[in-house]
Structure 1
Amino acid sequence: MDGVVLAAGEGTRMRPLTADRPKGLVEVAGQPLLTHCFDTLLSVGVDRLVVVVGYRGDDIVSRYGDQYRDAPIAYVRQDDRLGLAHALEQARPAVDGTFVVLNGDNVCRANLAAAVERHRETDASATLLVEDVPRAEARSTGVVTTDDEGRVTGLVEKPSDPPSTLVTRGFFVFDPAIGHACALTLPSERGEYELPDAVDLLLSAGHRVEAVELDGWCHNVNEPDDIDAVENRLA
């Protein structure tokens, strides 16, 4: 199974740490963020890594080369950073069959394998790891609505009036149908191709989308203070 790591962003909120390196090479607990991501993906059955690079991407290629712990690495460039759906569209030719996606600035100790298992059991086209959060936090990320059986009925990016308090947590399981949906996604008001919009296209076309609630934690490292928070959790 392929594991796609989205690591093209410039990480402006991580300055000055990202002035001379990509965000994925910022160290947390003595290891680059990408090393944490790779270890996480290999633990859920990934045997090949696809890394989407952009800002200072050559530094990532030089650091990891073409293999990590016996898993081959392929690199895909996203020179124009136009959103996560755009990033997946660049990666589409490099992946095969069911694959997982992890944001390259996430450190996780959670039930990611359960999301992979649910995806396979239900024959879904997409499975999302989600968490129930305070309403104020839901306004700043992808918000998920579900039915009584846990199937996803809608997904919207950064709504001013969230329809629920379930949010995505940066880990996804997809079948190839997501590639076509990403190609059809239109730019949002902020000029980016949003992954929630692509998943919503899957729903509109009648595809099954599942949600698995987070058990454990996934911490997005957006700012320097997040490094201390993650290191405290790992201690």
Structure 2
Amino acid sequence: MKAVVLAAGEGTRLRPLTEDKPKGMVEVDGKPILTHCFNQLVDLGADEFVVVVGYRKQDIISYYGDEFDGIPLTYAHQREQKGLAHALLTVEEYIDDDFMLILGDNIFDANLGDVINRQQEDRADAAFLTEEVPLEEADRYGVCDTNDYGEITDVVEKPENPPSNLVMTGFYTFSPAIFHACHLVQPSKRGEYEISEAIDLLIQSGRTIDAIRMDGWRVDVGYPEDRDKAERLLQDDESEPKISEASAN
């Protein structure tokens, strides 16, 4: 499965960490955020990366070149940052089957493989990881409603009055149907082409969309304090004692 990584952002909220580098190149626990993303996608079986670049794109291209851990890297250029649906359309020519999508400013230690498995089992057109957040924070995210089968029934981007506290995280799988939906998306009140609107169009057209509850943690590295939080969590994971198979038995 190909993996699309969105890494075109400038990271203005991360300043001063992004004064001389794009957001994806900010280091967390000694490695750029993008390296953490790539490693997670390698573990999930990605056989090709398509990376959307924009702000200071040459920093990313020069650092990673044309492969990562033996897996080919292709770059797509988002000339203007107009939202995630707009960014996704820059890779349309490279995708002809189901694919993974990760936001290149997120670090996960979670059940990402469950998202892939569920989409394949249900032959869904989209599946993504969700998490519950405090209701007062839900207006920062794409907010979901689901039915009794775990299927998404509605998605609203950064609503003033969130209908729930279940929000989308930064990991998805899609069929190519998402591109048609992205072409139909109209600019939001923020002037951006929202991925949540594209997903909602899939829902309204009768497509199957699955929501998988997160088991683990993730950090959306949007502010300097988020970088510090992600670093602490990674270091805590590294310091936990590993139980060998022999001792476990």
- Give the TM interval when normalised to the shorter protein: over 0.9
In structure 2, the gaps of 5 or more residues are 236-249
Secondary structure of 2:143's aligned partner? strand
Equivalents in 1 of 2:205, 2:63: separation in Å? 41
Shift of residue 227 of structure 1? Answer: 1.6
Shift of residue 44 of structure 1? Answer: 1.0
Matching residue's letter, 1:48: E
Specify the alignment match of 2:31 in structure 1. Answer: 31
Stretch moving more, 54-63 or 223-232: 223-232
Specify the alignment match of 2:125 in structure 1. Answer: 125
Specify the alignment match of 1:161 in structure 2. Answer: 161
Specify the alignment match of 2:216 in structure 1. Answer: 216
Equivalents in 2 of 1:67, 1:48: separation in Å? 9
Alignment of 1:172-187 (within 5 A): 172-187=172-187
Number of matched pairs: 235
Equivalents in 1 of 2:136, 2:72: separation in Å? 40
Shift of residue 96 of structure 1? Answer: 2.5
Stretch moving more, 122-131 or 221-230: 221-230
Structure number with larger C-alpha Rg: 2
Contact 1:2 1:96 (8 Å CA) reproduced: no
Cα root mean square deviation, aligned: 0.7
Matching residue's letter, 2:191: G
Equivalents in 1 of 2:149, 2:94: separation in Å? 34
Report whether the alignment pairs 1:78 with 2:78: yes
| TM-score, with length taken from structure 1 | 0.99
Alignment of 1:1-16 (within 5 A): 1-16=1-16
Alignment of 1:45-84 (within 5 A): 45-84=45-84
Specify the alignment match of 1:141 in structure 2. Answer: 141
Equivalents in 1 of 2:229, 2:137: separation in Å? 17
Equivalents in 2 of 1:113, 1:168: separation in Å? 16
Percent of residue pairs identical: 51
Matching residue's letter, 2:203: L
Specify the alignment match of 1:171 in structure 2. Answer: 171
